[in-house]
């Protein structure tokens, strides 16, 4: 028999290599709702790794809205939006998000990954130039590769590096950046990026998945927090699976951009719409996000408490004032050991390793939510102290 017919494409070797490099990933089977105290395999843990920043994923009003929506509109979307899958709740949510963000129009998609693919592949093609922050989310990078556009990556938040790349850019120019960088928790310098975009006749696109709902007095995200608007940031991408506690994503832009996505964005055209009940539940999340401002205030206080305690312990924190609080360890094996020690103490944090982050920057990625309490943050800090994670620890 031809040996090529019995090949497993080198999968055994690939998986073994990943294990040997301490980069193997495994899923945890959660047996409870998304909340600070969760159950896995019959054991209770205090979790600090969810992106449910405002604590809405298990909110009774959101749950009730999902149930009501399912009773009224059913469960499945049935077809793509352009066939017969665009239901009234989808339309209502798009209108509400457009009003909230201040953009002309909003388009719903099934995930943030798909939203980024939709925007970049529909707007750019061969001969155009996409300029990327080096620490952008993988979905933005993949979208650039699929678009066929010239692909240039500027140094992280480095406007001088971006300026050099812009000087060599051709065709339509799109600057794409995360708003809050998901692994570091730091913020994109939108005023500087917007000024460079304007000076070079480029557009600015911000993926604010981790900032929307959290930042800004009204929860409008980094664009609001940094005093920007639709004239500065032409394309805003937000997700519903984080601060909203539901699922899906949206693109906010001009009417012309949104209509272009409807006509040409393959991830939108060829995907069954998300459940209408989910859109109906997201309307309740939007209402809570606007009315219950105490959630952002609570989150801000917890971040301050954690950072003060972590700095007192000598932990190697990054400069982040967002709910994303990474502790840099460096070595992947050591990071896994520390995460395991915390798990044994009943504390869950994410051990993030390459290729998700650059080599030698493996970290414990701690995320705080408005559903956490001050006492729970103290428990986390005590557990970190007992693991001897201080700066002088070998």
Which residues carry out catalysis? 182, 210, 242
DSSP 368: -
Region of 178 on the Ramachandran plot (φ > 0 left; ψ -120 to 50 alpha; else beta): beta
Nearest residue to 51 via CA among 252, 287, 286, 299: 299
DSSP string, 237-253: EEESSSTTSS--EEEEE
Residue 308: other Cβ atoms inside 10 A: 10
CB contact at 8 A, 100 and 283: no
Residue 392: other Cβ atoms inside 10 A: 6
* Dist. CA 67–CA 278, nearest whole Å: 9
Region of 127 on the Ramachandran plot (φ > 0 left; ψ -120 to 50 alpha; else beta): left
| Tokens 């700066």 found at | 391
How are beta strands 37-40 and 173-178 bridged, if at all? unpaired
Backbone angles phi, psi at 48, to 5 degrees: -130, 55
Q: Which two tokens stand for residue 59?
A: 């909110």
Question: Which whole-number Å values give the CA distances from 187 to 18, 70, 169, 203, 301, in the listed order?
Answer: 31, 38, 25, 19, 19
* Dist. CA 142–CA 130, nearest whole Å: 12
């Amino acid at each position: 028999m031809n040996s090529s017919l019995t090949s497993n494409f080198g999968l055994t070797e690939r998986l073994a290599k990943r294990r040997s490099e301490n980069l193997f990933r495994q899923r945890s089977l959660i047996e409870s709702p998304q909340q600070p105290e969760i159950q896995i395999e019959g054991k209770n843990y205090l979790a600090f790794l969810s992106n449910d920043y405002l604590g809405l994923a298990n909110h009774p009003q959101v749950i009730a809205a999902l149930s009501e929506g399912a009773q009224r509109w059913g469960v499945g979307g049935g077809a793509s939006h352009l066939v017969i899958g665009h239901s009234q709740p989808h339309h209502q949510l798009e209108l509400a998000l457009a009003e909230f963000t201040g953009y002309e129009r909003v388009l719903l998609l099934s995930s943030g990954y798909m939203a980024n693919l939709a925007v970049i592949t529909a707007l750019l093609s061969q001969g155009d130039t996409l300029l990327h922050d080096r620490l952008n989310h993988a979905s933005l990078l993949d979208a650039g590769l699929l678009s066929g556009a010239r692909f240039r990556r500027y140094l992280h938040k480095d406007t001088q590096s971006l300026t050099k790349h812009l000087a060599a850019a051709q065709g339509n120019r799109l600057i794409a950046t995360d708003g809050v960088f998901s692994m570091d928790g730091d913020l994109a310098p939108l005023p500087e990026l917007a000024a460079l975009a304007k000076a070079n006749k480029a557009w600015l696109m911000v993926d604010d998945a981790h900032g929307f709902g959290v930042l800004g007095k009204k929860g409008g995200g980094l664009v609001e927090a940094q005093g920007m608007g639709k004239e500065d940031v032409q394309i805003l991408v937000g997700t519903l699976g984080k601060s909203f506690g539901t699922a899906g994503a949206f693109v906010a832009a001009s009417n012309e951009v949104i209509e272009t996505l409807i006509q040409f964005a393959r991830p939108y055209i060829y995907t069954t719409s998300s459940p209408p009940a989910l859109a109906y539940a997201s309307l309740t999340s939007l209402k809570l996000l606007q009315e219950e401002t105490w959630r952002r205030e609570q989150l801000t206080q917890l971040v301050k408490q954690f950072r003060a305690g972590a700095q007192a312990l000598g932990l190697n924190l990054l400069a982040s004032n967002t709910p994303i609080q990474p502790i840099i360890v460096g070595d992947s094996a050591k990071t896994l050991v520390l995460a395991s020690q915390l798990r044994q103490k009943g504390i869950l944090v994410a051990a993030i390793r390459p290729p998700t982050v650059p080599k030698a920057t493996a970290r414990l990625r701690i995320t705080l939510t408005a559903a956490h309490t001050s006492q729970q943050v103290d428990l986390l800090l005590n557990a970190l102290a007992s693991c001897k994670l201080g700066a002088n620890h070998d």
